[in-house]
Chains A and B, each alone.
Chain A
């Protein structure tokens, strides 16, 4: 007793009687620092704890609990034991004391030193002395947290309580209404079912007390600080309900009931829940409900109300079938899988062969979903339907029917694809291989292009079936593809053929090496004498595209890259004024070759890549043509140097785009030789050449190299050197190459932005200052779009660029304030540049970022809508549009201004502005009805005019928007 320090006594006194809450912190600190112990605190509290006034006692316990909160980790087992006994005893005290008691107990449950038996005794006391649902929200949360803590550390002890634990919990949560607490309760319930607590005779009670919330219907209040979503609750509850097969007999009837209801969200939830429980269930749990489940699933697909619902139903069916497939067949039990598949076939099969094919799709989708579930299911189903599909295809004459059948077949093949495990080497379709191939080849030989396209994609799917196609099939397929590639003019067909060739070549490279590549080479280098006659740019392009597409396997690349290099080298045959004109002087051929080379180089194996880059760089830097076979080039060729005085010098300098395609696409670990020299020549070319393709490709090539160059001194110094040159040219208004150096700067900026290089900020500042430049201002504004978007040819992931995720957000958050300031400070005539820059940035931001950042910029955007520049109007509209789909509150406050400005644009001279502004107005119709209803008449009147617009596309938008505004205020409108 004497050991109790006066300091402690005074702290206690001031907290309990003086009601000074801050004293709790001091006391906690005292304990932490070792000035006094927990037990001394209890002693010091002695008088307060035995006071006749409940409020004094409550205050005493409160101090203890708060101190405990800071110090539970340091308690000894003995202290915990004493405190536990104390708190348990206090549970019987006056109700004003209870909250602090519970808080103390919750802290104790976190103690690692909790002695054996304490957990059980604590819970017994709580279940016995506390009626949970009459407590306040926070205290109820205390109880749930206690349970969660103890389940984590004292699982074995709690299980010792047997079914009493479950019963205690059920009683505690029965009637819980608060979503935060429900999340906790669902977590406990989930632990109970998943960790195998003994449910005893309380299985149904536990199901009842949780399933009564099903389906979850919860809308968070506006400005909800807790951020609990309906989705979290749904998932929490779903984990409980689907956690154990013991619930099957209760859950399945409930799900069937909800599936039969008219509430769409309940249906969807039920389908997802159904799919989720299949991983826990066995066929015996399902047997008696199969008929009912099938009827409901079938209905959702046959009379589907939305794609979402349909795909949920199909996923549930697949899960269900897969669950049935897991059951081990024993001689005495019924084969539930085959019973179930019989049901499906009974209801669906005949639709596949009806003459008008009217219900073919829903039936096919159902069959495919079950087919995809397991190997056994796919055997049963394909055996039942493939013969009839094949027979029909061969007997039908109408192209549309044949195509539909092909599409159905393809879906079956794909559905099996996903399910086949690697240990099964025989494809389900082996039996039908010959028939399927003949279907595909006959369709490829038709003149109907959509049939050809479908057939190409079926062929693709067949090739994905391991071991299905024979070599002879592939040979035949390659013949067909080659024929179509060379002869078919329809772009959709050729792009399908190219895709198919790419996919086939990955699986079966041999036939492509022996047949396709030689044939393409022949086509590309057909008799040079009559080159002009035979040169078809479209065929050329298709050949190159196919070449790129098939170059996936190293063995193919080995064959295809020489062809590509030959194409490249043939460009140099135009030396001399009288030589024939090479296709490589044509810009469109070059542009077509860039992606081809880029694709090939990005996939090169390290050694091959090293060789390639060595040759290419020396070709461009030194004119080393020795590696090219049969070359007849002069040795002085200098591709990166501008030949002064030569009129057509750009015909060579533009070849730098091929250099770019190669060196910028290589994997990052491939070292580029002569880097410094290469960079300096590229810089020179990009800053001095006046030919657009030449200087922009040089700039891009420079940027692509900078992007991948390792961090360090040499990188920094070459950037700084280049920047100096760029800035000095830009600062000189009379410089003839301002556009060129600007192009270089913006590409370098892009390269640095992607990798978060610190020097990037210098470039940004320069770029912002150029927004006020009389000549380059508009170009600077437009360049923000380039900074923010993914580029096709370089600086993307395919080219192994050094790219950090979220570089756009980062750019935006670092620079949006500068932009707003710049806008405010700029003179009136310069403001459009800032608005344009802003809209270019925002358009490219991910939607969530747009939505969260927009409020701050809203007034600027509204301003931008009145800016006379059509480009600004358009980009502002296009970035407003997605935001309007999920409007932030500030937007709703500005509705009047927004609507007036949008309506003013629906008669703009520019078609795209009319279209986008009308789309925005369309989106407004989905705002809260009471907010927009006052504008209904005005909007309908304003939209009458674009109904008679001269452009069909505008009319179409106006019709849709006006239709929605008409429905406004009508129940179906929502």
Chain B
């Protein structure tokens, strides 16, 4: 956000990044199957950039590991995210970024649900419904300027 545009939440509280996942011996063992677990899903999305701040969703506490659930056997993933303020207009975009990141990063057998943490946003239902509608998500990703913003959030380089 450059010159003049007011940030909605100019001074967000910044939370500490969690430490990198520690490597276990079994992870290095060829013969052990590592199931996909909550932490792994969280690691996929925690470093997504916030569309407004030069901070990650984890640092803004938008994403927390306790709100990430995966069932590897049944191929379901559910993520709840918490907008920084109840009227955050970026909520849909943040949700979309999370969804796209998961779509790109998970095997296609997974059913992915991304929702707002209950009670943390004024238009919670509307946002949830949009995020669940795959037709709208597909159409949104064919919109090149929107795709660009999403890609920016998913970019590993911080600009």
Contact = CB atoms under 8 A, between A and B. Distances in A.
Interface string A942-967: 00100110111101100110111011
A944 B105 contact: no
Interface string A691-720: 000000000000000000000000000000
B159 interface: yes
B38 to A, nearest CB: 13
A970 B30 contact: no
Contact of B105 (A358, A952, A963, A971): A963
Given A262-B2, A944-B107, A970-B151, A950 B158 contact: no
26 contacts: A262-B2, A305-B158, A305-B159, A306-B158, A356-B13, A358-B14, A359-B14, A911-B30, A944-B107, A947-B107, A948-B107, A948-B109, A952-B27, A953-B23, A956-B40, A956-B43, A962-B104, A963-B105, A963-B156, A966-B104, A967-B154, A970-B148, A970-B151, A972-B148, A972-B152, A972-B159
Contacts of A359: 14
Interface of A: 262, 303-306, 356, 358-359, 400, 910-911, 944, 947-948, 950-953, 955-956, 959-960, 962-964, 966-967, 970-973
B40 A952 contact: yes
Contacts of B36: 952, 955
Given A306-B158, A955-B36, A955-B40, A947 B30 contact: no
Nearest to A950: B33
User: Residue among B16, B105, B108, B109 with the most chain A CB within 10 A?
Assistant: B105
Interface in B133-159: 147-148, 151-152, 154-159
A359 B55 CA distance: 13
Nearest to B2: A262
Interface string B43-60: 110000000001000000
Across the A-B interface, the 10 shortest Cβ-Cβ residue pairs: A948-B107, A952-B34, A959-B105, A972-B155, A358-B14, A950-B33, A970-B151, A972-B152, A947-B107, A911-B30
B34 to A, nearest CB: 4
Given A947-B105, A953-B23, A972-B159, 12 more contacts: A262-B2, A304-B54, A305-B54, A305-B159, A358-B13, A944-B107, A948-B109, A952-B27, A956-B43, A963-B101, A966-B154, A972-B155
Residue among A306, A359, A970, A973 with the most chain B CB within 10 A?
A970
Contacts of B147: 970
Given A959-B105, A972-B152, A303 B54 contact: yes
Given A948-B109, A951-B30, A959-B44, A973 B151 contact: yes
B106 A967 contact: no
B54 A964 contact: no
Contacts of B32: 951
B74 interface: no
Contact of B34 (A306, A910, A951): A951
Contacts of B101: 963
Which secondary structure dominates where chain B touches chain A?
A: loop
Nearest to A967: B151
A960 B47 CA distance: 12
A448 B139 CA distance: 51
Nearest to B102: A959
Nearest to B154: A963
A948 B33 CA distance: 11
Contacts of A960: 156
Interface string B3-31: 00000000001111000000100011010
B155 A967 contact: yes
Contacts of A951: 27, 30, 32-34
* Chain A facing B: main interface SS: helix
A262 B14 CA distance: 23
A970 B40 CA distance: 26
A930 B104 CA distance: 22
Contacts of A955: 36, 40
Nearest to A305: B158
A959 B101 CA distance: 9
B106 A964 contact: no
Contacts of B107: 944, 947-948
Contacts of B105: 947, 959, 962-963
Contacts of B109: 948
A849 B40 CA distance: 38
Nearest to B12: A358
Contacts of B157: 972
A953 B54 CA distance: 28
A304 B158 CA distance: 9
A662 to B, nearest CB: 35
A911 B29 CA distance: 9
A177 B105 CA distance: 48
B35 to A, nearest CB: 9
Contacts of B104: 959, 962-963, 966
A971 B148 contact: yes
A951 B36 CA distance: 9
A952 to B, nearest CB: 4
A967 B49 CA distance: 14
B20 to A, nearest CB: 11
A305 B33 CA distance: 38
Contacts of A973: 151, 155
A911 B23 CA distance: 15
A973 B104 CA distance: 15
A963 B151 CA distance: 9
A41 B106 CA distance: 84
Contacts of A262: 2
A663 B102 CA distance: 59
A578 to B, nearest CB: 40
Nearest to B106: A947
A918 to B, nearest CB: 13
Contacts of B2: 262
Contacts of A358: 13-15
A268 to B, nearest CB: 14
B12 to A, nearest CB: 9
Contact of B30 (A356, A910, A944, A963): A910
Contact of B108 (A356, A944, A953, A967): A944
A964 B156 contact: yes
Contacts of A911: 28, 30
B158 to A, nearest CB: 6
Contacts of A947: 105-107
Contacts of A948: 107, 109
B120 to A, nearest CB: 19
Contacts of A966: 104, 151, 154
Contacts of B54: 303-305
Interface string B89-125: 0000000000001001111110000000000000000
Nearest to B153: A972
Contacts of B40: 952, 955-956
A953 B22 CA distance: 11
Contacts of B156: 960, 963-964
Contacts of A306: 158
A960 B104 CA distance: 10
B105 to A, nearest CB: 4
A139 to B, nearest CB: 44
A400 B15 CA distance: 13
A514 B106 CA distance: 61
A962 B156 CA distance: 12
Contacts of A952: 27, 34, 36, 40
A921 to B, nearest CB: 15
Tell me which of A262, A356, A966 has the highest count of chain B C-beta atoms within 10 A of its own C-beta: A966
B151 A953 contact: no
Contacts of B28: 911, 953
A947 B105 CA distance: 7
A818 to B, nearest CB: 35
A451 to B, nearest CB: 14
Contacts of B16: 400
Contacts of B106: 947
**Chain B CB within 10 A, most for which of A262, A400, A947:** A947
